[in-house]
Amino acid sequence: MQALPTLLIAVPVAGASLLLATGRLLPRGLVDGLAVAVTLADVVLAGLLLGATGDGRVVSWAGGWQPKPHLVVGIVLVADRTGAGLALLIAVLACCALVFSWRYFESVHAHYHALILLFTAGMTGFVLTGDLFDMFVFFELMGAAAYALTAFKIEEPESVQGGLNFGVLNSLGAYLTLSGIGLLYARTGALGLPQLSVALAGRGADPLVLAAFVLVCTGWLVKAAAVPFHFWLADAHAVAPSPVCVLFSGVMAPLGVYGVARVYWTVFHGVLPDAAVHRCMLVIGVATTALGALMCVTQRHIKRLLAYSTIAHIGLFLLGFAALSALGVAGAGVYLVGHAAVKGALFLLTGLLLSRYESVDELSLYGRARGHRLAGCAFVLGALALAGLPPFGTGLGKSLVDDAGASVPLTVLTVAVSALTGGAALRVGLRVYFGLGREPHPESTSDEEVTGRDEQPDARPPHNRTPTSMTAAVAVLLAGGLAVGVVPGFADGVGRAAAAFVDQHGYVMQALSMANAPSPAPPPTEWTTAGAVSGVIATVLAVSVACAGLYGRAPSWLRRPARPALHGLHWWHSGRIGDYAAWLVLGSAALAGLLIV
Amino acid sequence: MTVFAYGVAAWLVLIGIFGVVRSDNLIHTVICVAVAQSGTYVLLLTIGYQRGAAAPIFGSSTPKGSPVVDPVVQAMTLTDIVVSATVTALLLALVIQVGKRHGTIVPDELHELRG
C-alpha cells in the first residue's frame, strides 16, 4: 500500500525513459501500445490507491525517514481520497488522449508519447505530495512538459509563440511561488504541509506569513488561469494539439485551484482570517467567470472559444472553494470531473474538424460538416452538458457550488455563465454540423480577432470514415460526464473526499503519527430540485444564446456601446508577454490588497 | 548585511519581471526570466546563512555541534538551478523557432495571437 503513491509517479517516468531510449527502433504501433499500456497501468494503480485510502490517507515517507516525536526530516507523499481521485482522473484522461492520438497523428515520434507520460507524472506528483517544495518541483515538471507539448507543431508560427507565452508567464509565477515557500521556511523551518501546519498553529497571521500565502497562491493561480493571470491559457490552448488540450483543460489548469485549496486547508486554515480569504477568492472567482464567459461568447476561433469557457469554469471552481466549506470543495470536485470529461470530448471533436477541414474558424466552417451527423450530435450534447443539463455531472457540480455559496446573486451568475459558455459551444455545433443560422461572411474580420481560418491541421485527415479508436475516446469521455451525475455512488464518494480534504487536524495527525482519526461527516451531495431546475434554466438560456448568435442581430442601442467595449476587451488580450507579466505583478498586488483590506 | 541580501533578492526578482515587461527582444525576455530566478537563489541562500558559520560538513575542522549554515536551502537552490537550466534552454529553443517562423523576435511585431 505504501508503495502505491511512489509507483504512480515512477511508472510513467520509467515508461517515458523507455520510450525515449528505444523509440527510434520500435515500430509506430508498438510505441503507441506501450504508451497506452503505461497509462492503463496508471489507471489500475490509481484505482487501487483510491481503494486503499478509504476515508483516511495513505502516507509514505521517502527513504524510510519516518517522523519521530519532535524530529521530522523526511519528505512525505500523502494520498487522500481527493489526491488519489485526481490521480485517477489524470490517468484516464491521458489514456483517452493517447488512444485518440493513435490514429490522429499520421507520423509522430516517440517523444510525443514520452512528453505526455512525463506530463502525467508531474501532475500526479503534484496531487499526491505532502511537501510544499515538492509541489513546486512537480509544478515545474508538468510545466516544462506542457510548454514542449504546446509548441509541439514546431513548424507553425502560432504554436511556438503560444508555447513561449505559456512558458514565460508560468515560470515567473513559479518563481514567485518559490519565493513564498522560502519565506515560509524562514518563518517555520519546515517545508512539509503537515509540519508547516503544526509550526503555524496558534500563531496569528503576521505580515510575513501573509506575504508567503500571497506569493505561493500567485503561482498556483497563474496555472489556474484566474483573472488577471489568465492570458496564457487561451494562447496555449489555441495552438496545442487537440489531444493535449484534453489534459490542459481537463486537469492541468484546474490543478492550480487544487494547489490553492490544498495549501489553504492544510496550512493556512485557522492562521489567516476566514473572511479575508473568502472575500479574496470570491472576487477573483467572479472576475474570472465573468470575463471568461464574455470572451468565450465573442470568439470565432473554436479552440480559443473552448479555452475561454475553461477559464469561466475555473472561476466557478474558485467560487466553490471560496465557500470555504466541505460542500464547496465537493461541488468544485464534482464539477471538475464532469467538466474535464465534457470539455475533453469537445476538444477531440474540434481536433477532428481541424484535421478534416484545415480550419477551426466557426464562420468559414459554416455547414461544412453536415455529413457528420453523429459527431454533430456528440458536439451538441457536449455543449448542452457544458451548460449544465441535468443529469450530467456538470449540472450536479454547479448545483452543489450554488448550495455552498448560498447566495442568490451567485446562483444567477453561475446560471448566466453556464448559459453563455454552453450557448457559445452550442452555436458552434449547430452552425458547423447542421448549417443552421444565417450564412455568415467569414471575410469580415477585425484586427483584434483570431479567426483560426489558416490553422495548420495537427495531422492528416482520416481517409474515409473516422477510426473507431477516435470515436471511442469521444464516447468514453461523454459517457463519463454523464456517469458523474447519474451514478449515485460517485457524488457520494466526492463528498467523503471533500470531508477528509478539509479535515486539517486529521491530515496532520495521520501524516505525522500515522494515527487514523475518524473522518468528519460528509456534506450532502445529492441532486436537489432547485439544482435540477437551475440546470434546466441554464440549458434553456444556452439554447436561446445559441439562437441569438445564429439568427439574431443585436439592436443598435446595444451595439453602439457594446462594440467599443468588446473591441477594448479583445485589444487587452494582446498576445504580448510583457503585458502579461505586468498583469502578473498587478494581480499579485491585488491579491495582497484583497487579503489585507 | 542580511537585510541587504534580502533587498538584493527582491530587487532581482522585480527587475527581472520589469525586464520582461519592457523587453523588445525575446532573447532579452528569456534572460530576464533567468534574472528573476536568480533572485530566488539569493533569497534561499540568505535564509540559511549564518554569520561565522561553516559549510554543513562535519569533520575534523568542524566538530559536531559547531554552527553551520542550513543545508536544506542549499539543496533547494541546487534543485532550482536544475529547473532554471531546463526551462531557460527550452524557452531559448522556442525563441529560435519563433525567429525562424516569424522572421522576427521583436514582441511588438508578433501579431498571431490576440483577442
Q: Which of A147, A160, A296 to mutate to test the interface with B (most CBs of B within 10 A)?
A: A160
Q: Where are the alpha helices (DSSP H) in B1-115?
A: 2-22, 26-48, 71-102
The band of A444, judged by pLDDT with boundaries at 50, 70 and 90, is low
Looking at residue A316, its pLDDT comes to 95
Interface of A with B in 45-74 (CB under 8 A): none
Q: Would the pLDDT of A318 be above 60? A: yes
Q: Which residues of B20-38 are buried (b: 16+ CB within 10 A; e: fewer)?
A: bbebeebebbbbbbbbbbb
Q: Would the pLDDT of A447 be above 60? A: no
Tell me whether residues A450 and B113 touch, CB distance under 8 A. Answer: yes
Summarised one tens digit per residue, pLDDT across range A350-366 is 999 988 888 888 888 88
Looking at residue A363, its pLDDT comes to 87
Q: Would the pLDDT of A453 be above 70? A: no
Chain B partners within 8 Å of A129 (Cβ): none
As a whole number of angstroms, the distance between CA B69 and CA B97 comes to: 43
Q: Would the pLDDT of A96 be above 70? A: yes
Tell me whether residues A157 and B112 touch, CB distance under 8 A. Answer: yes
Q: Which of A175, A291, A361 to mutate to test the interface with B (most CBs of B within 10 A)?
A: A175
Looking at residue A358, its pLDDT comes to 85
Q: Would the pLDDT of A555 be above 80? A: no
Chain B partners within 8 Å of A172 (Cβ): 16-17, 20, 33, 36
Looking at residue A454, its pLDDT comes to 63
The band of A64, judged by pLDDT with boundaries at 50, 70 and 90, is confident
B27 inside 8 A of chain A by CB: no
As a whole number of angstroms, the distance between CA B84 and CA B71 comes to: 20
| Inter-chain CB pairs, A–B, below 8 Å | 139
Summarised one tens digit per residue, pLDDT across range B24-48 is 999 999 999 999 999 999 999 999 9
A568 inside 8 A of chain B by CB: no
A575 inside 8 A of chain B by CB: yes
Tell me whether residues B111 and A168 touch, CB distance under 8 A. Answer: no
Q: How far is A172 from chain B (nearest CA, A)?
A: 7
Mean pLDDT (whole number) for A489-499 = 91
Looking at residue A364, its pLDDT comes to 87
As a whole number of angstroms, the distance between CA A290 and CA A285 comes to: 9
Of A133, A137, A164, the CB nearest to B95: A164
Tell me whether residues B113 and A171 touch, CB distance under 8 A. Answer: no
Q: Would the pLDDT of A446 be above 70? A: no
As a whole number of angstroms, the distance between CA A548 and CA A554 comes to: 8
Of all residues in chain A, the one with the smallest CA distance to B101 is A157
Of all residues in chain A, the one with the smallest CA distance to B86 is A144
Flag the least confident range among A21-25, A123-127, A421-425.
Answer: A21-25
Please give the residue that has the higher pLDDT: either A378 or A74.
A378
Q: Would the pLDDT of A573 be above 90? A: no
Of all residues in chain B, the one with the smallest CA distance to A299 is B115
Looking at residue B115, its pLDDT comes to 62
Mean pLDDT (whole number) for A93-98 = 94
B12 inside 8 A of chain A by CB: no
Of all residues in chain A, the one with the smallest CA distance to B10 is A179
Chain B partners within 8 Å of A185 (Cβ): 47, 72-73
Looking at residue A335, its pLDDT comes to 95
Looking at residue A445, its pLDDT comes to 55
Looking at residue A464, its pLDDT comes to 62
Q: Which of A147, A178, A585 to mutate to test the interface with B (most CBs of B within 10 A)?
A: A178
Q: How far is B32 from chain A (nearest CA, A)?
A: 10
Looking at residue A460, its pLDDT comes to 62
| Half-sphere exposure in the Cβ direction for A461 (13 Å, CA) | 10
Looking at residue A201, its pLDDT comes to 87
Return the residue matching grid coordinates 490542459.
A248
Q: How far is A211 from chain B (nearest CA, A)?
A: 13
Of all residues in chain B, the one with the smallest CA distance to A446 is B115
Tell me whether residues B33 and A144 touch, CB distance under 8 A. Answer: no
Q: Would the pLDDT of A372 be above 90? A: no
Mean pLDDT (whole number) for B100-114 = 80
Of all residues in chain A, the one with the smallest CA distance to B27 is A164
With CA atoms as reference, report the closest residue to A319 among A248, A229, A415, A237.
A415
Average pLDDT, chain A: 90
pTM for the structure as a whole: 0.94
Of all residues in chain A, the one with the smallest CA distance to B89 is A144
As a whole number of angstroms, the distance between CA A245 and CA A343 comes to: 9
Q: Which amino acid appears at position A276 of this protein?
A: A
Of A165, A178, A185, the CB nearest to B80: A178
Of all residues in chain B, the one with the smallest CA distance to A136 is B80
The length of chain B in residues reads 115
Please give the residue that has the higher pLDDT: either B1 or A103.
A103
Chain B partners within 8 Å of A140 (Cβ): 83, 86-87
The band of A178, judged by pLDDT with boundaries at 50, 70 and 90, is very high
Q: Would the pLDDT of A560 be above 90? A: no
Tell me whether residues B33 and A171 touch, CB distance under 8 A. Answer: yes
Q: Which residues of A46-79 are buried (b: 16+ CB within 10 A; e: fewer)?
A: bebbbebbebbbbbbbeeeeebeeeebebbbbbb
Mean pLDDT (whole number) for B68-85 = 91
Rounded (5°) CA angle B44-B48-B51: 130
User: Are the CB atoms for A170 and A143 separated by under 8 Å?
Assistant: yes
Q: Would the pLDDT of A463 be above 60? A: no
Of B14, B101, B115, the CB nearest to A448: B115
Looking at residue A28, its pLDDT comes to 87
The band of A537, judged by pLDDT with boundaries at 50, 70 and 90, is very high
DSSP state of A249: I
Return the residue matching grid coordinates 502525467.
A120
Mean pLDDT (whole number) for A167-181 = 95
Interface of A with B in 381-440 (CB under 8 A): none
Flag the least confident range among A200-209, A460-469, B9-18.
Answer: A460-469
User: Are the CB atoms for A174 and A141 separated by under 8 Å?
Assistant: no
Chain A partners within 8 Å of B94 (Cβ): 147, 151, 160, 163-164, 167
